[in-house]
A and B are shown apart, each in its own frame.
Chain A
Amino acid sequence: GQQLNQSPQSMFIQEGEDVSMNCTSSSIFNTWLWYKQDPGEGPVLLIALYKAGELTSNGRLTAQFGITRKDSFLNISASIPSDVGIYFCAGQPPGAGGTSYGKLTFGQGTILTVHP
């Protein structure tokens, strides 16, 4: 299947720092989604992006849908300890129609650690 490559794999930052992570693919995607997973829980949707070039914010989080439709990035400003977790990008490939509309591909995840 189509692959999403996330980087970095892990980050160790101080509280208050800004964070940036990205997701790339060799194929185009119709939709980009960003999720956060807290320890012991399932992933939770943070931001959804639907159009190339789209920039969307959710509190201290900002995400962009790349112009080429092959990448997306997520920024977290002024990090706090509760930002700790694993962040995943996810995308729906083009041509997903009918039953394949249920297909959603995830990246490998970025593990974020925030030191107080």
Chain B
Amino acid sequence: EAQVTQNPRYLITVTGKKLTVTCSQNMNHEYMSWYRQDPGLGLRQIYYSMNVEVTDKGDVPEGYKVSRKEKRNFPLILESPSPNQTSLYFCASSLNPGSNGYTFGSGTRLTVV
């Protein structure tokens, strides 16, 4: 089944403790992206990647890092999480975002205390 898989689904952590949210896609898509969803703010793009080793900032990149060492994987790294990064995070992939949009994973709900 074609899908975007992200783990974990739920995560509670403490301020300052580094964490990684994994994302993998099995559709051989060139593009991958991370979004965060907050009430009243919709989905905001954090980072996106055009291909292996090619990444670019979205609208809210501060406090996040990404890497694209393999085509199928695009982990999101929070080096020093803070409470304002408590949010619902979505990974997504696409062959052609401008034409087909992104296919989204099921989300990771992160709470930073």
Contacts and interface: CB of A to CB of B under 8 A. Distances in A.
Interface of A: 1, 4, 6, 9, 30-31, 33, 35, 40-45, 48, 50, 88, 90, 92, 96, 98-109
Given A6-B42, A31-B99, A42-B104, A102 B90 contact: no
Interface residues of B, number: 31
A114 to B, nearest CB: 20
Complex A-B, nearest 9 residue pairs according to Cβ-Cβ distance, in ascending order: A42-B104, A102-B48, A106-B43, A108-B42, A1-B59, A92-B98, A33-B101, A99-B50, A45-B101
Interface string B60-96: 0000000000000000000000000000001010100
Contacts of A6: 42
Q: Is the interface of B mostly helix, strand, loop or mixed?
A: strand
B45 A104 contact: yes
B106 interface: yes
B25 interface: no
A102 B44 contact: no
Interface of B: 4, 31, 33, 35, 40-45, 48-50, 54, 56, 58-59, 90, 92, 94, 97-107
Contact of B101 (A90, A108, A109): A90
Given A41-B107, A88-B43, A103 B99 contact: no
A42 B101 contact: no
B99 A104 contact: no
Contacts of A30: 98
Contacts of A4: 42
Contacts of B33: 102, 104
Nearest to B98: A92
A92 B97 contact: yes
A35 B103 CA distance: 10
A101 B100 contact: no
A43 B50 contact: no
29 contacts: A1-B45, A6-B42, A40-B106, A40-B107, A41-B106, A42-B4, A42-B105, A42-B106, A45-B100, A48-B99, A48-B101, A50-B99, A90-B43, A96-B98, A98-B50, A101-B31, A101-B97, A102-B48, A102-B49, A102-B56, A103-B56, A103-B58, A104-B48, A104-B97, A104-B98, A104-B102, A105-B45, A105-B59, A106-B35
